[in-house]
Structure 1
Amino acid sequence: MIHFVGAGSGAIDLITIRGAKLLKKADVIIYAGSLVNPDLLNYAKESCECYNSAKMTLDEVIEKMIEAENDNKMTVRLHTGDSSIYGAIREQMDRLDEEGISYDVCPGVSSFCGAAASLKAEYTLPDVSQSVIITRMASRTPVPEKENIASFAAHGATMVIFLSTGLLEKLSKELVKGGYSEDTPAAIVYKATWPDEKIIHCTVGTLYESAKENNITKTALIIVGDVLASEYSLSRLYADDFSTEFREAKK
């Protein structure tokens, strides 16, 4: 059996209870070494075989999974954050389907949730933004043209931008092109929830300079939107003149 496990956003105690139990039982762990906190491997038993997929191809990852299955061993494929976001999980599952190997998925805490917690921010504030756009800049790996940054920026919603720290000068221009002003609040969250986490508050127009001043070149999320400012409306759900299934409005 193969268990795809979301490692969480960085801090080792932010893995789920289910994920930690699977790590403790695993005979083989294949982990995304470029992003997963290596201290999570401390959950593994002494006899567990651990492989860093940052140094492996897809074929090599699948080969290790097949070997483990043939030896009747349980494998954990440990992905950063939650494997459903930029996890390259589908291509692995398709190959396992072809091989007739069973698998399941254990969700994790994505770094975009970890970043919000570190910022003490709410991405969906009444009358400010009720949508969150998770995306990334096109680089060596393209994105569909209809999903370019400027087209998303036109919505004025909260944006969480992955895998783009090395492209901040261009990112700022695309955000402004799409409709954000240069003084729209923004934040750079480096290694959210890790011990060496760093948070930089800035604006759309100062993203590049802020990252350069703090020597941040990778492993950071970019958050953009007026939810990082102070003005918003209170939730109607808890308003005293608002009835719900559980509470009558006060006269």
Structure 2
Amino acid sequence: MTVYFIGAGPGDPELITVKGQRLIRQCPVILYAGSLVPTAVLEGHRAEQVVNSAELHLEQIIELLAAADARGQDVARVHSGDPSLYGAIGEQIRCLRERGIAFEIIPGVTATAACAALLGAELTLPGVSQTVILTRYADKSPMPEGEALHDLARHGATMAIHLGVQHLARIVGELLPHYGEDCPIAVIHKASWPDQDWVVGTLADIEARVAAKGFRRTALILVGRVLDTDAFGESALYRAGHAHLYRQ
């Protein structure tokens, strides 16, 4: 018996790996995070038990996983995006290890990747930014030392900020000294969902633009010069005259 932590992707039910989809259709037990995973992701399943874990607390979830283990039934534990990023799987894995229950993580498409695709952007451009920082805004729980937004902003790298749209004014205030008023920023609401929406602006005007849209939650913030520039170098990989293993 194995508990499979499956990344369902950012919302579009087709943005799931072949392996993840196969396991969902094969496992006799499914626990899915219904607050962020659309039921269309479960299409074609033959499970005997399907539970929306949004209604449960951790102990209840673990008891369901343990009961499936006792019956010898594999479990598809379905999370949104990629489960290794803000998926709250660490605490579940800790409990499974304590009980000796086998598990496996199946990666998924991240919300950051879906947002970049929606914007038609590459997040790493030569000479502009070669680093992407994925973080969240400190709200209900503090950030570890050195990971406060103003500390990360000093790098000037492309940044994806989760769980922050409600604190946009504070975020802009912490980014401005390091990125400048003219730095491009985008706020994407429910990327890849049927009702997806987004707004693009600069640090100087993004608050007004987001207020006009009325975004309150389920939005990701992308900031960085890569979002609006053609002033970047060409990669060495495809440059004529650059030899490598596959091209002499």
Answer yes or no: same fold by TM over 0.5.
Answer: yes
Report whether the alignment pairs 1:187 with 2:186: yes
Contact 2:25-2:42 at 8 Å conserved across structures: no
Q: Which runs of 5+ in 2 are unaligned?
A: none
> What is the CA deviation profile of residues 105-149 of structure 1, one whole-angstrom value per residue up to 9, with x for unaligned ones?
111111111111111110100000000000011001221131011
Aligned pairs (5 A) from 1:54-73: 54-73=54-73
Aligned to 2:90: 90
Give the partner amino acid of 1:71: R
Aligned to 1:155: 155
Report whether the alignment pairs 1:51 with 2:51: yes
Q: Distance in 2 between matches of 1:168 and 1:198?
A: 17
Aligned pairs (5 A) from 1:157-172: 157-172=157-172
Q: Distance in 1 between matches of 2:218 and 2:232?
A: 30
Please state how far the C-alpha of 1:42 moved relative to its aligned partner.
2.0
Q: Distance in 1 between matches of 2:14 and 2:213?
A: 27
SS of corresponding position for 1:146: coil
Give the partner amino acid of 2:245: E
Aligned to 1:77: 77
Q: What value does the CA root-mean-square deviation take over the aligned residues?
A: 1.3
Aligned to 1:199: 198
Q: Distance in 1 between matches of 2:194 and 2:33?
A: 19
Q: Distance in 2 between matches of 1:32 and 1:146?
A: 31
Q: TM-score, normalised by structure 1?
A: 0.94
Q: TM-score, normalised by structure 2?
A: 0.95
Aligned to 2:143: 143
Identity %: 40
> What is the CA deviation profile of residues 149-195 of structure 1, one whole-angstrom value per residue up to 9, with x for unaligned ones?
11111111100111111110111001114x11122001111111111
Give the partner amino acid of 1:218: R
SS of corresponding position for 2:14: helix
Aligned to 1:30: 31
Please state how far the C-alpha of 1:208 moved relative to its aligned partner.
2.3
Q: How many residues align?
A: 246
Give the partner amino acid of 1:18: K
Distance of aligned partners of 1:206 and 1:53 in 2 relative to their CA distance in 1, 3 Å threshold: farther
Please state how far the C-alpha of 1:199 moved relative to its aligned partner.
2.0
SS of corresponding position for 1:93: helix
Report whether the alignment pairs 1:130 with 2:127: no
Q: Distance in 2 between matches of 1:114 and 1:99?
A: 36
Greater shift, 202-211 or 157-166, is seen at 202-211
Contact 2:200-2:206 at 8 Å conserved across structures: no
Q: Distance in 2 between matches of 1:48 and 1:233?
A: 54
SS of corresponding position for 1:43: coil
Aligned to 1:3: 4
Please state how far the C-alpha of 1:48 moved relative to its aligned partner.
3.0
Please state how far the C-alpha of 1:215 moved relative to its aligned partner.
1.2
